Chain A
Amino acid sequence: MSILYKRSKSLNDSPFTFCPGCTHGIVLNTVMNVIDELGVDGDAIAVGCVGCGGYMPWFMDIDTIYSLHGRAPANATGVKRMNPDKIVFTYQGDGDLASIGTAEIVHAAHRAEKITAIFVNNTTYGMTGGQMAPTTLAGQKTTTSPYGRDPDHCGNPIRMSEMLATIDGAKFIERTAVNNPANVRKTKKAIKRAFECQIKGLGFAMVEVLSTCPTNWGMAPLDALKRLEDEMIPYYPLGNYKDF
């Protein structure tokens, strides 16, 4: 019998504390599976964020530092510049990367920092209880857009992959999703390539992974996956935006 899915050996024994049906677990396990496959767990340094993604450091069996809200790319810059031969990656949510941390992510890309950013986009602030994020879809109800996001009032959702792909120093940018097994496999392939970009020393790499937040969306997990497919993917097209 072949093993189709297993817990990565680069994760420690702590059980994930994500909400039932949340896809963070899939994303994190996928990242760590790639680290296993590349055989770089001994050289990997993870840089955490603030938000639900910020739980990540507690589950990994590799060198880790947490960051302040949005500052992971700056923190990772310091780590990578002092450890140029190590594999340094950030793991950030959309509140972290696309709102409070836009300056840091843009300039890490702009300087062609040889780091990999894993950007988990679930169109909301999960940990603080489902507030509106810059990525929240038009019309989406959240606790701070209780009547639905009105683009006239607070703009349309920001597309980070498209924006970062315009920057010279960004060498690999791809948007994927984890709503079905085929997309999970594509996500893994993209994350692997984003790490290879770093290993080759080419520059900044990011994979944006569309993810769900059943708890704050007020949906059953399967409905959340369906929403990801029906509403998020049409606005956030999957695909590669920059390759090397």
Chain B
Amino acid sequence: MVEGRRKKMTKVLMKGNEAIAEAAIQAGCQAFFGYPITPQSEIPEYFAREMPKHDRLFLQSESEMAAMNMCMGASASGARVMTSTSGPGYCLKLEALAAMTLNRLPAVVTIVMRNGPAFGTMKASQEDYRMNGNGGYKIVLLAPSDVQEAAEMSFEAFDIADKYRNPVVILADGMIGQMMGSVDFDKMPPKRKDLPEKDWALHGKKYRGGKPVLHLPPMGTEHFKTKHWQETELYPDIIKNETKVEITDVKDADIVLVAYGTAARMCKAAVIDEQPGSVLKIGIIRPKTLWPYPYKAFEEIGSNCKAVICAEMNIVGQMIDDVRIASSGRWPVYHVGDSENDFLMPQDIVDKVHKVWEEVK
């Protein structure tokens, strides 16, 4: 594995997109394949500037689809690889991304979500939570909520991908990608030890005593065996080790807000707006991983709780289904999202809290 660069970069002000790219380079990303699309274009631009300085590869592909397939080839060759896009490109990448789960090829894919469907608007959104390719599989979804966390998750994503030989998606929204924030690159998560050797990398059979490596889709019974192994061993292992969540004040909460990414920041702002003069106690559950989903966090909600509100930057709720599963009928579950005028704002959440409280108190 190529060591990440030891750039003297302590605290710097960066866009979320740039922080994701820089952290990936520090994590030892050897190849980036990408295609321009708002609001993620600073990621390929950053790689285009920085990768040649470190004798690593930046390549602009002819499409998002091609970029993901290039990742497939480079990953099968043993490299740490990344690509990034927004929702419209995510659809196109899913064909290869899904295939890479079955072929057990690691890669990190950053999705900086905007409002859809199709080209939709350029506004930030959280509408690609459910997006899935064909076939049954799971991918670790990391959901950063500020620029520092975006960097940390990007840095750690490569280790997670290599550890489980499974792609990892960083699911950021357009606000996380576009906003500036301070990043301390001395505070990256520790590099994981005991990552498996990539003895399956394509380098020509003479490097393996004449025994060829075959990256073929498992056929016949092997196909079923592979997926059974994933469902019964790999995924439970990931659920056990990688589920991450931030829980705030849920023990004695009257209402619990559930949100990730920028929507979670808005929830925090809403709680600050709501608290003075209010008798309502509001807790927040912020999943940092969307798969594995932190269902168990909901067990910490105290007996005072009357309702759970899922706040998302969308109109057709997506994470709300997981919130319903996690709530298991213990509390009514509500959605608050984009208004008719703009994306979700803290005031929308405050208004929703009051409206819901009137119903459930």
- List the B side residues contacting A76 at CB < 8 Å: 73
Q: Is A99 an interface residue (CB 8 A)?
A: no
Q: Which of A57-65, A132-140, A149-157 contacts B (4 or more CB under 8 A)?
A: A57-65
Report how far A119 CA is from B7 CA in the complex, Å: 46
Over the window 192-235 of chain B, the binary record of Cβ atoms lying under 8 Å from chain A Cβ atoms (1 yes, 0 no) is: 00000000001111110010111111000000000000000000
Q: Once the chains bind, are B76 and A42 in contact (CB under 8 Å)?
A: no
Residues of A with C-beta under 8 A to B99: 68
Residues of B within 8 A of A (CB): 30-31, 33, 57, 59, 61-63, 65-67, 69-79, 81, 95-96, 99, 202-207, 210, 212-217
> Is there contact, CB below 8 Å, between A43 and B204?
yes
Judge whether B204 and A81 touch: CB under 8 Å. Answer: no
B216→A71 contact, CB < 8 A: no
For the complex, would chain A's binding face be called helix, strand, loop or mixed by DSSP majority?
mixed
Contacts of B79 in A (CB 8 A): 82
The 8 closest A-B pairs by CB, nearest first: A78-B73, A42-B206, A78-B74, A82-B77, A74-B69, A107-B62, A65-B215, A78-B70
Distance in Å from the Cβ of A125 to the closest Cβ of chain B?
19
Residues on B with C-beta less than 8 A from A79 are: 73-74, 76-77, 202
Q: Are A45 and B204 in contact (CB under 8 A)?
A: yes
Query: Contact between A63 and B205 (Cβ–Cβ < 8 Å)?
Result: yes
Check B69–A75 contact: CB distance below 8 A: yes
> Could you tell me which residues of chain A, from 51 to 97, have a CB within 8 Å of some CB in chain B?
57-58, 60-68, 71, 74-83, 86-87
Whether A205 is near chain B, meaning CB under 8 Å from some CB there, is no
- Supposing A57-B216, A74-B73 touch, asked if A62 and B61 sit within 8 A by C-beta, the answer is no
A43-B204, A82-B78 known; 7 new pairs, CB 8 Å cut-off, are A63-B202, A63-B203, A77-B66, A78-B31, A78-B81, A81-B57, A81-B70
A78 touching B75 by the CB < 8 A rule?
A: yes
Are A64 and B214 closer than 8 Å at their CB atoms?
yes
Q: How far is the CB of B63 from chain A (nearest CB, A)?
A: 6
CB distance from A177 to the nearest CB of B (A): 29
The verdict on A83 contacting B203 (CB below 8 Å), with A65-B73, A103-B62 known, is: yes
User: A62 vs B206: C-alpha distance in the bound complex, in angstroms?
Assistant: 9
Which chain B residue lies CB-closest to A107? B62
